[in-house]
Amino acid sequence: MSKKRLQVILNEEAWNLVEALIKEANENFEVGSITFSDAINEMILCSKVDVKQLQTKHTDFRRSLKVLATRDDLDLESVIKSLMELRAKNGIGSKKKPHNHEEV
């Protein structure tokens, strides 16, 4: 089996889920042990990510405007509608907050 090493920064919510899984998996498990890598690999394999939601969370409004501005078939009403939907999904005018990360 080929193994790849990757450093990943988890937000607090994701880290809490990993810690809870590790704790539960190793509790009263005397015939082996579960590592962080084991738990995270299993979490990834068992997940189904909503790609559209992921894209929405990471949409750059300025880049969106630039892309929309380059279109030949620019329809102002659909642009406004799209931006309002993005704004509603991402929170009103919210900027990304700086993260405090702890390395594993």
What is the tens place of the pLDDT at every residue in 19-73? Answer: 999 999 999 999 999 999 999 999 999 999 999 888 888 888 788 778 878 888 8
C-alpha Rg value of the chain to the nearest Å: 20
Q: What's the rounded Cα separation, in Å, for the pair 11 and 57?
A: 14
Q: Which residues contact 104 (CB under 8 A, 6 or more apart)?
A: 10, 36
SS3 for 6? coil
Q: Which residues of 66-76 are buried (b: 16+ CB within 10 A; e: fewer)?
A: eeeeeeeeeee
Domain edges within the chain: 12-47, 53-90
Query: Taking the complete model, does pTM exceed 0.85, yes or no?
Result: no
